[in-house]
Amino acid sequence: MDYETILVETHEQVGLLRLNRPKALNALNPQLVAELVSALQAFDADEAIRAVVLTGSEKAFAAGADIREMADMSAVDMLKADLIGTWDGIYQVKKPLIAAVSGYALGGGFEVALMCDMIIASETAVFGLPEVSLGIIPGAGGTQRLVREVGKGLAMEVILNDRRLSAEEALALGLVNAVYPTDTYLDEALALAAQIASRPPLAVRFAKEAINQAYETALTEGLLFERRGLYFLFSSEDQTEGMAAFLEKRSPEFKGR
Ligand code: CAA
């Protein structure tokens, strides 16, 4: 499929999506989000792909929702278009999704990174939610996801007072998994994705779902979800292979079945 606002690549078992509206610092307009969700769904459906990396440019992962396209909208326009509803497709991806963030990850850009499973940052990454300065609030999960990641006090400061977080701060907070020089952060994200891609896909999928349940449910329900996932995986060929390979002291060959 041809896209205008994103670039799609595959690196063996890893899919790579690059946000590509350089003149607007990858501002997330409806076309870009629709194309992004479509490409993510295509990777999700492709058996040859086992993990996905989402990146922007060195200067900007994404500078937020497109202010130019939103500026003149009324509340009723916003409600009818439900622009943010489409963004849920990013969080609904079943395969592991790693954000490789360099430069600005502001507003919706930060929120997209927060929807990903892991964040690898370059030294120049800056995370922030400046929506209040525009007279609005974050609308793609920022108020809910950031507080779960960094706690109430800091989330308040970031959102109410446009406090920006550097890559190093984000690392110390556990918000990002690792920080690398600008020259290598994308390769490192791809390498991490390739490692995960070598693991049994069904177990990886259930593990991701179970971890995300920790955000969605009470502990008892989450534990039940986890246990059912564990039991279910005993019906997979990969479980038989993984355990046999361990006992036979050889490398396993996982097929995703
Ligand atoms: N929407 C639309 N266009 C944007 C944009 C955005 N979010 N961010 C940057 N651009 C455009 C600029 O308008 C500019 O275009 P022109 O050359 O045509 O004027 C171009 O990208 C380059 O931007 P700057 O000249 O501003 O570049 P800079 O290096 O001086 O500054 C920046 C970079 C600090 C990121 C600055 O562009 C900025 O503050 N951007 C807006 C950040 C923001 O407020 N994001 C929140 C958006 S609202 C949101 O995301 C809602 C939600 O929750 C979903």
pLDDT in tens, 1-12: 789 999 999 999
Q: Is 104 in the pocket of ligand 1 (CB under 6 A)?
A: yes
pLDDT > 90: percent of the chain:
98
Residue 67: per-residue pLDDT: 97
pTM attached to this predicted model = 0.96
Mean pLDDT of 140-167: 97
Catalytic residue from among 39, 51, 60, 65 = 65
Structure tokens at 111: 């929120």
Residue 197: per-residue pLDDT: 97
Mean pLDDT of 181-195: 98
Q: Is 65 in the pocket of ligand 1 (CB under 6 A)?
A: yes
pLDDT at 131 over 90: yes
Structure tokens at 229: 């996932």
Q: Which residues pair with 120 in a beta bridge?
A: 100, 178
Residue 20: per-residue pLDDT: 98
CA-nearest residue, atom 27 of ligand 1: 25
Mean pLDDT of 151-170: 98
The gap from C-alpha 95 to its chain's centroid, in whole angstroms, comes to 10
Residue 1: per-residue pLDDT: 77
Mean pLDDT of 97-102: 98
Residue 96: per-residue pLDDT: 98
Most ligand 1 atoms within 8 A of CB, residue of 21, 26, 67, 143 to mutate: 67
**CA–CA dist 36, 115 (Å, integer):** 13
CA-nearest residue, atom 28 of ligand 1: 25
CA of 30 to the centre of ligand 1 (A): 16
Confidence of residue 83 (pLDDT cuts 50, 70, 90): confident
Neighbours of 241 (CB within 10 A): 16
Radius of gyration of the chain (CA): 19
The count of C-alpha atoms lying within 13 angstroms of the C-alpha of 47, restricted to the half-sphere facing its C-beta, is: 4
The answer to whether 159 and 143 have CB atoms below 8 angstroms apart is yes
Q: Is 134 in the pocket of ligand 1 (CB under 6 A)?
A: yes
pLDDT at 104 over 80: yes
